[in-house]
Amino acid sequence: MEWQNQDPQPKRWGRVVDVVSDGILYMEDAERLKLNGVVFPADFKRRSKLEALLMDLVSDKIIYYTVLDTDRMGRLNVNAWIDEISINDSIQNAE
């Protein structure tokens, strides 16, 4: 999936410094990102596997993202990419 042509909104970028429960990404600039459409399973083993996959994919890397909206906890709901790889799709399809 090519990120350049997916969304008309401007792209932001930043370095991921941590991944916490439910796949929330903590960015170097203190933003908290929630991957749009990604729901982590209730089952502990499956959840842990997906969280580890996400951490391997994004930890300490520069990502690009498009902000769709903000949730009630102030987290940015985003579509995110590393190079031309959709992080959202990678995690959804890993399930």
- What average pLDDT is seen over the chain? 89
76-82 vs 62-70, strand pairing mode: antiparallel
This prediction's pTM? 0.85
Whether the per-residue pLDDT at 9 is higher than 70: the answer is no
**Average pLDDT rounded to a whole number, residues 3-26:** 80
Torsion 81-65-62-30 (CA) sign: negative
